[in-house]
């Protein structure tokens, strides 16, 4: 598989009242064609900001200050806003966590899908009627693809007429209208109930296989990653702390944070045993010294850890940002 | 005797009629958020109440505390019929029955200090005032893992997990016996969630508390409850000891709920069931068994007859027409 | 993005002080505040700073132009009116009337509005129905005509002006308070207080009111400018403060007849109204920007 997206040493900063926040600090990652990358992290880990940076959608006062973002051979950071707009929605699409606020309540679903096609699709026929028919045909096809029953009538309906799970499907359908090479889904199931969540995740996996696109699944739920992703990247306080094939990372986590995260998940099987929470909380990202960011919560921390730690090889296709990888937990 | 006995409790809301209803002269729409629920909670146990959004589990928790006035049925707490209490007696009863909320941001008044928030029950019930109240508040705060030095801070100066600890301290300060935990960890990050769960279990053990623990997360419920009740569209469809319900779920809804949870670990042991369709609107629930629209096992009888709750094992009961046949979605899918 | 909101770490500084600092950084707002303060100072210290007695008439000075115009006298810098009274001194004294009425009406109306709005928004039921209906009815009348009618019934006088304006003004804060209360009453901390055994009085005063005060203060400040104009309008129509007491509105009205030969009689009090109202409006906008999180970054 060839590399579709390659981000190197990305840094995104927010100038806040409290000071400069490095929300993303030296993140490097790769997404190969057709693969599913899971990005796991808690709030404040920088997982959403990383991909907002890729999309060129970082909101003021945030700013991408360093790094390269190569997508399909082009550095997205060097593109003009117009060129970037052309890529967004056509080659890279994104869905948001909250489908209700991400969809425009004043436009019907069909109109919102048509907008994307009109903006990006040069292959649409020239004639007005033919154009309209083509758009309609494609919209019906897309809604059908995401499993919405009787798509031709539902095309005329407005977002509020759909349930939460259906709205998430519609957002995916809109994202897919131009057959993007990369779909970034930001917490696609967090707002949904478990039974609906399972449907949506299966849909994403299914469509990925059928269209052969790459998917980035941003989530806080390791269970979701375990079931749906080829590779996983764990983020903590603006940095990648561990990265590798999903089964390896989840089966044998190497970084103490990944380990702590897995141990924190309550499971019926653990009844009666104490779950081992990670003590303390995420550090304040303002003015962090260049040292291991997890050391204040780390059971393995030693004075030597107070240095800047690079990503170190941690097995086949794996890396982790920890000096004590070789030692048992 | 059980500490809490809920008998046939219901909470109905008059919904706003839609334009279609009005045109057809159909004036009243009634949302049966809680539809004649009976359950009991033993002293010192954790009853886990699980269900998806809109199933009425939060309304049930609030109706038990009379935060939402029940429309029918009774709540008997430690021998006293709470539903019949006059306002003054109800106020006194609130010392013993408390609630912890889901949202650590919305549940604390942003304009009041931690001392004021946590100390409020002391003042309201005339338990203590002045320096004494402050000392009690400080002690409770330390009990939940915060520092007495933080008494005069405002909520926005704390993180989500710390704020949830403040909410727990507020519920504890009047020395209650029973606490409704309404999704207390759903809004928290995984590592913080584990801290709060550990704290709640520790408090329960040390202070002899009893919890009704409401959650949509079957992993959390399975980890900490003694017994489980599964709710679907205002009805309880299955109850039992946690091991029985999780290992041998009898209602098809419970079965599909369990199989929908993404699992960590190389191979999943059970087969999987994928429910089709969405939760029906509580405004217009299906007749008969409310689950029949999504149930793979539904037969014609399910569309018309409401299933009765029947025992399927010691302390284990479920409401389904096809229990006797011993069918399981999980078996079939394997 | 959600991650960034967490990054804006909770600081030790209280929200209120941060708002205040935002406000003080806004230059235009500080300039307006200075203008308002100067007017207030003028009103308070009128007897000390007014160069002349505002009511002393002298027909020899009738329509005397301002100091810098031919025939003017610098002892009467802004000229004199038809009765030879010093316009500057009358403006200085007139500030007392405008500011007093503006402040009195707003304080009264906001107080009533808060009580009614809290009751309607929190207690709901018939209380809400009655209060909301009264508000709707009052909103149906044009403000000035309503006030004119009341003044005609009650007769002129300072207190009557205040009452006539406050009779209708309270519905504005009332609507704001009711709306905010409806939103805040559903929040979990209000429910938490109920769960702890708190009664309606505690909840309205201690839990809800402190959280809705900012928008109320902002709206009241904006409305104060409006009230000052209304008072001027009433005085202009001769229904306000009675002669010889100086009021900006009546001064504009007095000069109307001579607007062609003696422009200064109407212009300077008119400018005073403009300046004060403008300053209050700008300051209240800045206040809103600083206190309403929806308008800050």
For residue C69, what pLDDT is reported?
74
Structure confidence by residue, pLDDT tens digits, A14-68: 988 778 888 999 999 999 999 999 999 988 889 999 999 999 888 888 899 999 9
Asked whether the predicted pLDDT for residue C5 surpasses 90, the reply is: no
Determine which of C10, C192, C203, C212 to mutate to test the interface with B (most B C-beta atoms within 10 Å).
C192
Q: Is C274 on the interface with B (CB under 8 A)?
A: no
Q: Is A281 helix (H, G, I), strand (E, B) or coil?
A: coil
Higher model confidence: residue A61 or residue B240?
B240
Touching C: which chains, 3+ CB pairs < 8 A? A, B
All residues at 6 or more sequence positions from B277 whose CB lies less than 8 Å from its CB, including other chains: B293, B294
The two structure tokens encoding residue A58: 């970082």
Structure confidence by residue, pLDDT tens digits, A127-184: 888 888 888 888 988 888 888 878 888 888 888 888 777 888 888 888 888 888 999 9
Report whether B319 contacts B249 (CB < 8 A).
Answer: no
For residue A61, cis peptide bond before it (omega within 30 degrees of 0): yes
Nearest chain B alpha carbon to C209: B111
Asked whether the predicted pLDDT for residue C296 surpasses 60, the reply is: no
Range with the lowest mean pLDDT among A113-117, A162-166, C194-198, C212-216? A162-166
Give me the percent of chain B exceeding a pLDDT of 70: 90
Asked whether the predicted pLDDT for residue B27 surpasses 60, the reply is: no
For residue B85, what pLDDT is reported?
92
CA distance B162 to B152: 14
Structure confidence by residue, pLDDT tens digits, B179-237: 999 999 988 888 889 999 999 999 999 999 999 999 988 889 999 999 999 999 999 99
**C11, C192, C199: residue with CB nearest B101:** C192
Mean pLDDT computed over every residue of chain A? 87
| Mean pLDDT, residues C16-44 taken together | 81
Asked whether the predicted pLDDT for residue B334 surpasses 50, the reply is: no
For residue C16, what pLDDT is reported?
65
The distance of Cα A13 from the centroid of its chain, to the nearest Å, equals 19
The distance of Cα A8 from the centroid of its chain, to the nearest Å, equals 17
Cβ contacts below 8 Å, chain B against chain C, sum to 66
DSSP B258-273: HHHS---SSS-SS---
CA distance C11 to A69: 34
Q: Do C15 and B106 touch (CB under 8 A)?
A: no
Range with the lowest mean pLDDT among A280-284, C22-26, C204-208? C22-26
Q: Is A55 on the interface with C (CB under 8 A)?
A: no
Q: Is A9 on the interface with C (CB under 8 A)?
A: no
CA distances (Å), origin B79, targets B1, B72, B301, C281 = 9, 18, 40, 62
Report whether B122 contacts B174 (CB < 8 A).
Answer: yes
* Contacting residues of C for B124, CB less than 8 Å apart: 196-198, 202
Q: Is A285 on the interface with C (CB under 8 A)?
A: yes
Determine which of B147, B189, B224, B233 to mutate to test the interface with A (most A C-beta atoms within 10 Å).
B189
Nearest chain B alpha carbon to C5: B159
* Contacting residues of B for A223, CB less than 8 Å apart: 261-264
CA distance C240 to C102: 13
Confidence bin at A239 (pLDDT 50/70/90): very high
Asked whether the predicted pLDDT for residue B328 surpasses 80, the reply is: no
Mean pLDDT computed over every residue of chain C? 81
Range with the lowest mean pLDDT among A220-224, B269-273, C47-51? B269-273
Q: Is A234 on the interface with B (CB under 8 A)?
A: no
DSSP B17-78: PPHHHHHTT---EEEEEEEEEEEEE-TT-EEEEE--TTSSHHHHHHHHTTSS--SEEEEEET
Q: Is A52 on the interface with C (CB under 8 A)?
A: yes
* Contacting residues of B for C194, CB less than 8 Å apart: 67
**A42, A227, A267: residue with CB nearest B191:** A42
Nearest chain B alpha carbon to C202: B124
Sign of CA dihedral A293, A297, A300, A303: positive
Q: Is C11 on the interface with B (CB under 8 A)?
A: yes
Q: Is A204 exposed, middle or buried (0-12, 13-18, 19+ CB in 10 A)?
A: buried
CA distance C253 to B103: 59
Confidence bin at C156 (pLDDT 50/70/90): confident
Confidence bin at C3 (pLDDT 50/70/90): very low
Determine which of B54, B165, B278, B295 to mutate to test the interface with A (most A C-beta atoms within 10 Å).
B278
Asked whether the predicted pLDDT for residue A326 surpasses 80, the reply is: no
CA distance B185 to B178: 18
For residue A252, cis peptide bond before it (omega within 30 degrees of 0): no
Q: Is the pTM of this model over 0.90?
A: no
DSSP chain C: -HHHHHHSPPPSS-HHHHHHHHHHH-HHHHHHHHHHHHHHHHHHTHHHH-SS-TT---GGGTTPPPTTSTT--TTSTT-B-TT--BHHHHHHHHHHHHHHHHHHHHHHHHHHHHHHHHIIIII-HHHHHHHHHHHHHHHHS-HHHHHHHHHHHH-S-HHHHHHHHHHHHTHHHHHHHHHHHHHHTTSHHHHHHHHTT--HHHIIIIIIHHHHHHHHHHHHHHHHHHHHHHHHHHHHTT-SSPTTS--HHHHHHHHGGGTTT-THHHHHHHHHHHHHHHHHHHHHHHHHHHH-GGG--
């Amino acid at each position: 598989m060839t590399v579709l997206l390659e981000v190197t040493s990305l840094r995104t900063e927010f100038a806040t009242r409290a000071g400069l926040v490095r929300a993303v600090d030296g993140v490097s990652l790769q997404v190969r064609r057709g693969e599913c990358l899971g990005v796991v992290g808690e709030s404040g880990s920088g997982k959403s900001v990383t991909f907002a940076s890729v999309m060129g959608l970082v909101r003021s006062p945030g700013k991408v200050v360093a790094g390269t973002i190569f997508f399909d051979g082009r550095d997205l950071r060097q593109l003009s806003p117009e060129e970037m707009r052309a890529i967004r929605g056509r080659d890279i699409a994104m869905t948001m966590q909250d489908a209700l606020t991400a969809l425009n309540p004043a436009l019907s679903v069909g109109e919102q899908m048509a907008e994307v096609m009109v903006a990006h699709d040069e292959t649409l026929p020239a004639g007005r009627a033919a154009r309209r028919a083509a758009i309609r045909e494609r919209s019906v096809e897309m809604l059908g693809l995401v499993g919405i029953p009787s798509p031709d009538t539902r095309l005329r309906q407005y977002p509020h007429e759909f349930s939460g799970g259906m709205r998430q499907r519609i957002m995916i359908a809109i994202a897919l209208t131009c057959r993007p090479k990369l779909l970034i889904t930001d917490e696609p199931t967090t707002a949904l109930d478990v039974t609906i969540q399972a449907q949506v995740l299966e849909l994403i996996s299914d469509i990925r296989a059928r269209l052969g696109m790459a998917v980035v699944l941003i989530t806080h739920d390791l269970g979701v990653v375990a079931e749906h992703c080829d590779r996983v990247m764990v983020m903590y306080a603006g940095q990648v702390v561990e990265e590798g094939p999903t089964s390896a990372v989840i089966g044998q986590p190497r970084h103490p944070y990944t380990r702590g995260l897995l141990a924190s998940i309550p499971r019926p099987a653990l009844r009666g045993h104490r779950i081992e929470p990670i003590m303390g909380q995420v550090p304040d990202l303002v003015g962090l010294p260049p040292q291991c960011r997890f050391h204040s919560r780390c059971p393995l921390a030693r004075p030597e850890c107070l240095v800047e730690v690079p990503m170190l090889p941690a097995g086949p296709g794996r890396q982790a940002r920890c000096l004590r990888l070789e030692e048992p937990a | 005797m059980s500490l809490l006995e809920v008998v046939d409790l219901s909470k109905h809301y008059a919904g706003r009629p839609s334009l279609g209803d009005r045109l057809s002269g159909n004036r009243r729409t009634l949302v049966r958020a809680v539809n004649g629920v009976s359950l009991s909670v033993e002293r010192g146990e954790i009853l886990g109440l699980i269900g998806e959004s809109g199933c009425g589990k939060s309304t049930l928790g609030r109706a038990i505390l009379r935060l939402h006035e029940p429309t029918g049925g009774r709540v008997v707490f430690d021998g006293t019929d709470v539903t019949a209490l006059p306002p003054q007696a109800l106020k006194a009863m609130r010392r013993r029955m408390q609630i912890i909320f889901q949202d650590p941001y919305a549940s604390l008044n942003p304009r009041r200090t931690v001392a004021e928030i946590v100390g409020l029950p002391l003042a309201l019930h005339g338990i203590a005032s002045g320096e004494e109240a402050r000392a009690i508040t400080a002690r409770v705060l330390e009990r939940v893992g915060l520092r007495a030095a933080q008494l005069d801070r405002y909520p926005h100066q704390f993180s989500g997990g710390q704020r949830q600890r403040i909410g727990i301290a507020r519920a504890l300060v009047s020395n209650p016996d029973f606490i409704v935990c309404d999704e207390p960890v759903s809004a928290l990050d995984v590592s913080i969630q584990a801290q709060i769960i550990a704290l709640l279990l520790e408090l329960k053990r040390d202070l002899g508390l009893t919890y009704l623990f409401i959650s949509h997360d079957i992993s959390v419920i399975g980890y900490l409850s003694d017994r489980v009740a599964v709710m679907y569209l205002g009805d309880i469809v299955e109850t039992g000891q946690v091991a029985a319900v999780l290992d041998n779920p009898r209602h098809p809804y419970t079965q599909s709920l369990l199989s929908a949870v993404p699992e960590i670990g190389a191979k999943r042991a059970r087969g999987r069931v994928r429910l089709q369709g969405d939760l029906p609107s509580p405004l217009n629930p299906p007749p008969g068994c409310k689950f029949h629209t999504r149930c793979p096992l539904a037969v014609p009888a399910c569309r018309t007859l409401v299933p009765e709750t029947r025992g399927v094992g010691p302390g284990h009961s479920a409401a389904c027409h096809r229990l006797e046949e011993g069918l399981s979605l999980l078996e079939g899918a394997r | 993005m959600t991650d960034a909101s967490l990054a804006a770490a909770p600081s030790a500084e209280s929200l209120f002080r941060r708002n205040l600092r935002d406000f003080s950084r806004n230059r235009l707002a500080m300039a307006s505040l200075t203008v308002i303060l100067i007017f207030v100072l003028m009103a308070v210290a009128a007897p000390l700073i007014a160069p002349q007695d505002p009511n002393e008439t002298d027909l020899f000075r009738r329509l005397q132009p301002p100091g810098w115009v031919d025939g003017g006298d610098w002892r009467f810098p802004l000229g004199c009116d038809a009765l030879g009274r010093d316009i500057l001194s009358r403006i200085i004294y007139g500030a007392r009337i405008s500011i007093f009425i503006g402040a009195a009406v707003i304080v009264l109306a906001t107080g009533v509005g808060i009580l009614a709005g809290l009751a309607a928004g929190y207690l709901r039921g018939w209380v809400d129905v009655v209060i909301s209906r009264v508000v709707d009815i009052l909103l149906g009348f044009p403000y000035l005509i309503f006030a004119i009618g009341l003044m005609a019934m009650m007769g002129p006088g300072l207190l009557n002006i205040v009452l006539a304006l406050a009779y209708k003004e309270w519905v504005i804060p009332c609507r704001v308070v009711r709306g905010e209360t409806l939103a805040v009453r559903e929040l979990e901390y209000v429910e938490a207080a109920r769960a702890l055994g708190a009664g309606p009085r505690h909840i309205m005063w201690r839990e809800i009111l402190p959280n809705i005060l900012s928008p109320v203060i902002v709206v009241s400040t904006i409305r104060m400018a409006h009230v000052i104009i209304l008072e001027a309008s009433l005085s202009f129509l001769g229904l306000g403060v009675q002669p010889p007491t100086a009021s900006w509105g009546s001064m504009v009205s007095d000069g109307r007849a001579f607007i062609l030969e003696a422009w200064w009689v109407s212009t300077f009090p008119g400018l005073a109204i403009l300046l004060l109202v403008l300053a209050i409006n700008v300051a209240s906008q800045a206040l809103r920007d600083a206190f309403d999180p929806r308008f800050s970054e």
